[in-house]
């Protein structure tokens, strides 16, 4: 048991911050100490600036409790809140943007699943017979010097033509609209699918209450997710968005950057094509923890 040491007693509001910092000052992990000290300073400064009432504080605590209660295997309300506040995009930008010509990162999102079916280049990931407009996606993977990257794993997932991922829709088969491809000697891969639709983020929990209180819409523009990985390269997690979607400049989770606006082109046969060049930067291959099973 950690032995107590004197950090002083509170003597008015102005003394609280320094006393809390002193109480945490023996934290042995330097990074944890740095993070918690900064959090306390900024959080206390926020409270001093806004001066919440006791009733408002109770409402805030209840909101946080309900975030956890509303999270489960099919939805992570805490991640959703970080997305809606722009925190997820900010963290990703700070950790991945190096100005080397690499493809912009975008949110992993709450719907990635590990273990998607391994596919051959050219295969279709549309397995559910759910209709929709055909889409052929052709991609290349290269390094920041323009050299093709062979043998990169390209994990792909997307929503259906009605804006639902397969784990949200009992009418879709397991791992529908998901697949893993491998880039060839020229860094190329391609697959067939159906054009995805934009969709609203879940609004049946506390995050939906927040959006309504702020008079914000809940919609994301249509997009396809990509996670591209290979040893000696930083794992690229990104999304390519439909350039003609009406929400392209109003993504509720702030995930769109100009280079990620993909050109969905008509193929003249009632379908669409999408060509995109992905650029990876050197680094460490890391696969994130799946947000859903």
Specify the pLDDT at position 165: 92
Residue 131 pLDDT > 90? no
Mean of all residue pLDDT scores within the chain:
94
Per-residue pLDDT band at 7 (split at 50, 70, 90): confident
Classify the phi-psi angles of 163: left when phi > 0, otherwise alpha if psi is within -120 to 50, otherwise beta.
left
Give the pairing type, strands 188-194 and 261-262. Answer: unpaired
Q: Which range is most confident: 1-5, 111-115, 288-292?
A: 111-115
Specify the pLDDT at position 142: 98
Q: Which helix (H) or strand (E) holds 211?
A: helix 206-213
77-280 topology per CATH: Protocatechuate 3,4-Dioxygenase, subunit A (2.60.130)
- Compute the half-sphere exposure of residue 53: CA atoms within 13 Å on the CB side of its CA: 3
More confident residue, 72 or 172: 172
Q: Under 8 Å CB-to-CB from 260, ≥6 apart: which residues?
A: 103, 104, 106, 238, 239, 240, 241
Specify the pLDDT at position 12: 87
Residue 193 pLDDT > 80? yes
Which class for 226: exposed (0-12), middle (13-18), buried (19 or more C-beta within 10 A)? buried
Query: For residue 172, what are its two tokens?
Result: 């879709």
Residue 1 pLDDT > 70? no
Specify the pLDDT at position 293: 65
Residue 3 pLDDT > 70? no
* Chain region(s) in the chain for CATH 2.60.130.10: 77-280
Percentage of the chain modeled with pLDDT above 90: 84
Specify the pLDDT at position 99: 84
């Amino acid at each position: 048991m950690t032995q107590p040491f004197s950090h002083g007693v509170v003597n008015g509001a102005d003394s609280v911050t320094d006393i809390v910092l002193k109480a945490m000052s023996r934290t042995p992990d330097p990074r944890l100490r740095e993070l918690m000290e900064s959090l306390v300073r900024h959080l206390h400064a926020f409270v001093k600036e806004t001066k919440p009432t006791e009733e408002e504080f109770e409402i805030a605590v209840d909101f946080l409790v309900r975030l956890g209660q509303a999270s489960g295997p099919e939805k992570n309300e805490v991640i959703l809140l970080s997305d809606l506040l722009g925190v997820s995009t900010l963290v990703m930008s700070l950790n991945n943007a190096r100005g080397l010509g690499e493809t912009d990162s975008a949110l992993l999102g709450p719907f990635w699943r590990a273990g998607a079916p391994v596919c051959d280049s050219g295969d279709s990931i549309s397995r559910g017979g759910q209709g929709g407009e055909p889409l052929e996606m052709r991609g290349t993977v290269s390094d920041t010097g323009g050299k093709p990257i062979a043998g990169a794993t390209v994990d792909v997932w997307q929503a259906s033509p009605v804006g639902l991922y397969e784990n949200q829709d009992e009418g879709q088969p397991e791992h529908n609209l998901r697949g893993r491809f491998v880039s060839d000697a020229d860094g190329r891969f391609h697959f067939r699918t159906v054009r995805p639709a934009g969709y609203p983020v879940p609004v049946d929990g506390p995050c939906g209450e927040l959006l309504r209180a702020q008079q914000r819409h809940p919609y994301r523009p249509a997009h396809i997710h990509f996670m591209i990985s290979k040893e000696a390269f930083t794992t690229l997690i990104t999304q390519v968005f439909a350039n003609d979607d009406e929400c392209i400049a109003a993504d509720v989770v702030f995930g769109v950057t100009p280079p990620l606006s993909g050109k969905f082109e008509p193929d003249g046969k009632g379908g669409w094509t999408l060509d995109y060049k992905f650029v990876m930067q050197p680094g460490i291959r890391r696969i994130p923890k799946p947000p859903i099973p």
